[in-house]
Amino acid sequence: IPVPSPEPLSEPQHLHKLFTRQDVQSPINGSLPNVTIFATGGTIASQGSSNTQTVGYSIGLGVQQIVDAVPEILNISNIAGYQVSNVGSGSINETILLELNSLITAELEKDDIAGVIITHGTDTLEETAFFMDLTIDSPKPVICVGAMRPATALSADGPLNLLQAVTLAASPNALGRGTMITLNDRIGSAFYTTKNNANSLDTFYSTEAGQLGFFINQVPYFYYEPAKPIGLTHFDLAGMTTLPQIDILYAHQDMDALLFNSSVQNGAEGIVYAGVGAGGMSSKASVAAEAVYNETGIPMVASHRSADGFVPADDGDYIIASGFFNPQKARILLQLAVASGFGESEIRGVFAESYPSPGGGMRRK
């Protein structure tokens, strides 16, 4: 198949409204719901040099091309699109998150909008989805979608994923469920869903609390009535233009004790560490972490490097337990809490609310 050679875009290109409903070839159908797509890049916007290339491809498709590849979506919705960025999701940053938040908030306030979609690389999609779940206060659906194969690949998954995302965003059944992640027929909760496999199509398969529903012949089927996760804290980002630096440190055998100091010296205002087991680290790193905490008072959150699991409240520890949150989600939560000016006990409360923690706090000092 002929493949154009796209110019990879390395820098985010913000706020280009590429098309409106009027620009789309088919006339606006007043009986269809309106859905707006916010495109950020990722594999769903990528092309390879052949139809068998599934690694090492380049980002280069804009939102208009992504939509043009799935004309069927115009049978179920009127579509508008914004190109917010066109980057691999490892390059999504606070600027893009804040822009997405304010654009989506404004879009969902419009009476004639049924829901919105974020097209996104899958690598960090769960972070953006979690961020939106915590910061967008609307019953209308926010659907995050991506692809694991580039658009040029044999059996590319992006087109059907997009069709399902649009179906979901336009579905009355999706109301009141917060931000969702959809990929490969599955509908997952942004609060709990995690990327599980670096390469396979079913990467957002999650075994525990994350699964909300499934597409059956492109009809979204939900297992439960609309519900919000226990402990979801809403953060109001009005007027916020930056977010604090929160670092993630990865624990391992013989973990370097200086990592905590380096983070703080580089400007971190909070640290999450991906602990061994249920939030552990080497004794020398532990001594260093506590010294940094005593000196700076910055919040430190223990998560787990294992793919799944739980870090329990440890009464008496200065460290805040992440509960069910993996390191990348704990980082988003800590970032929003620090950005909101929360003190340590409030931050502790925000984490503790999402898991069983008798007494509500863990810190004795």
Ligand X SMILES: NC(=O)C[C@H](N)C(=O)O
133 in contact with ligand X (CB under 6 A): no
Asked if 279 and 319 count as a contact pair (C-beta separation under 8 A), the reply is yes
Beta bridge partners of 300: 271
Q: Identify whether 43 is a catalytic site residue.
A: yes
160 in contact with ligand X (CB under 6 A): no
152 in contact with ligand X (CB under 6 A): no
Site map 75..94 versus ligand X, x via CB under 6 A? -------------xx-----
- Selection from 315, 246, 248, 308 nearest residue 278 by Cα: 308
115 in contact with ligand X (CB under 6 A): no
Residues in contact with ligand X, total (CB under 6 A)? Answer: 9
Least distance between ligand X and beta carbon 133 (Å)? 19
Site map 30..49 versus ligand X, x via CB under 6 A? ------------xx------
Among candidate residues 119, 122, 182, 203, the one labeled active-site is 122
DSSP state of 51: T
Distance CA 21, CA 30 (A): 11
58 in contact with ligand X (CB under 6 A): no
Q: Identify whether 122 is a catalytic site residue.
A: yes
- Selection from 266, 307, 270 nearest residue 289 by Cα: 270
194 in contact with ligand X (CB under 6 A): no
| 125-135 helix and 327-339 helix, angle to the nearest 10 degrees | 40
User: Is the CB of 199 or the CB of 242 nearer to ligand X?
Assistant: 199
Q: Which alpha helices (H) appear in the chain, and where do they start and end?
A: 63-68, 94-109, 125-135, 158-169, 259-265, 283-296, 327-339, 344-352
- Annotated binding residue 122: yes
Output the DSSP codes for 236-287.
Answer: --TT------EEEEE--TT--TTHHHHHHHTT-SEEEEEEBTTTB--HHHHH
Least distance between ligand X and beta carbon 189 (Å)? 20
146 in contact with ligand X (CB under 6 A): yes
Among candidate residues 43, 105, 167, 203, the one labeled active-site is 43
Tell me how crowded residue 360 is: count the other CB atoms within 10 A of its CB: 11
- Annotated binding residue 179: no
* Residues labelled catalytic: 43, 122
Binding residues for ligand X (CB under 6 A) = 42-43, 88-89, 121-123, 146, 148
The annotation places the binding site for substrate at: 89, 122-123
Annotated binding site: 89, 122-123
